[in-house]
Structure 1
């Protein structure tokens, strides 16, 4: 009987320890922001451009990972403390600063309650002054292109693509119902570039689509986009 009593006490202690271990408060400080260049939002493909946060000296060496929304925004829940923010190599249609050692630079972030932090990057190109209109089941985009990086890191335009979709998620793959493109080599004037795409039959019928322009940089996986707009046709 005495042995059984000791077993009961030991079980209660272990259960109590287990509850304490499982009852730590969840992270509650929200870090939000967006990708920007000189204050202007950088639009990317939904859930395709990742970021990483590290908390030095906290006993955890792995990264807290997340991805940007298609409007370049992000949101993550963290514990209060000091973090290092970075974007992994070969990710995003922009340049991220690297150290002399060749390693990715990091942005120091001090989290003390919820806050907003925009992430400044340098895109290879910008899509400016975009006007997207619709008529007679045709969607047309007119826009200007700006080459931002012009030094030894400069890259050419591989293609310009106009995407349309039934929903507000617009890009390649399953997030389009139609698209058309212009080869970069065919662009002779960076101003008033025009591109059009026919709207296919949509079931169930709707008299609008969502559209945006994507720019594919040569040798860069991720595209930069204009903002998504709703277009009646």
Structure 2
């Protein structure tokens, strides 16, 4: 019985010391931040939908750190210093990943030693250009151009374009107060697209809305968007 008590006591002590050692680890203190870009221009996406992964070789847990891309194409992550492999999974984003000159693949090596700004270059299938929004009464009109970036054998068609209008600056296909849609086959001129949606009465009363346009690429889950614009009604 005494031996059993001694074993239990030793187990408690070891567990306590291990817990203390774990608690004494420094918190991550280096900020990695930047944008997902094409030729230096941030690519707008839907809110909280697109991620990339950071892998730290040699760490005990062989699982990635998921970093979420904000709707304006920016990201940030508080990390420990170290060398990370940055990977954008193939199913993420309305783009095609670039081949990195250092790794010879779409993996990017990140050597983090203090705060770091890093823009991640990708190749989008399309970019939305010159998006303009105007209001007449409660009708909101958007005009824009859909520029096809990838034109080789990997090119894809436009499935549809959408105008989304919301009460807050987080605007996409989730719960807009008004929207409009044009199918890809119905777009007469990708360089002159126009869409209009009527904003209903809002409760509580609000004399402004937020709007953006999005483009759905055939066979790609994530849409590419314009930036969000506030519109007075």
TM-score by length of 2: 0.90
The residue that corresponds to 2:72 in the other structure is 71
Q: Does 1:199 align with 2:199?
A: yes
Any residues of structure 2 matched to 1:56-95 within 5 Å, and which?
A: 56-95=57-96
Measure, in 2, the Cα distance between the counterparts of 1:127 and 1:17: 54
CA shift at 1:178, angstroms? 1.3
The residue that corresponds to 1:54 in the other structure is 55
The residue that corresponds to 2:171 in the other structure is 170
Q: Secondary structure at the match of 2:54?
A: strand
The question of whether the paired residues in 2 share the 8 Å contact of 1:135 and 1:232 is answered with no
More displaced, 148-157 or 185-194? 185-194
The residue that corresponds to 1:211 in the other structure is 211
TM-score by length of 1: 0.90
The residue that corresponds to 1:134 in the other structure is 135
Count matched residues.
228
The residue that corresponds to 2:187 in the other structure is 187
Root mean square deviation of aligned Cα: 2.3
CA shift at 1:7, angstroms? 8.5
Q: Secondary structure at the match of 1:173?
A: coil
Q: Does 1:231 align with 2:224?
A: no
CA shift at 1:192, angstroms? 2.5
Structure 2 unaligned residues grouped into runs of 5+: none
Runs of 4 or more above 4 Å deviation: 6-14
Measure, in 2, the Cα distance between the counterparts of 1:115 and 1:54: 17
In structure 2, the CA distance between the partners of 1:13 and 1:67, relative to structure 1 (3 Å rule), is: closer
The residue that corresponds to 1:40 in the other structure is 41
Q: CA-to-partner distance for each residue in 1:129-180, whole Å, 9 max, x for gaps?
A: 1111112101111111210000000000011100000000000123x11110
The question of whether the paired residues in 1 share the 8 Å contact of 2:36 and 2:73 is answered with yes
The question of whether the paired residues in 1 share the 8 Å contact of 2:98 and 2:123 is answered with no
Q: Does 1:120 align with 2:103?
A: no
In structure 2, the CA distance between the partners of 1:8 and 1:93, relative to structure 1 (3 Å rule), is: closer
CA shift at 1:117, angstroms? 0.6
CA shift at 1:23, angstroms? 2.0
The question of whether the paired residues in 1 share the 8 Å contact of 2:98 and 2:121 is answered with no
Q: Secondary structure at the match of 1:77?
A: strand
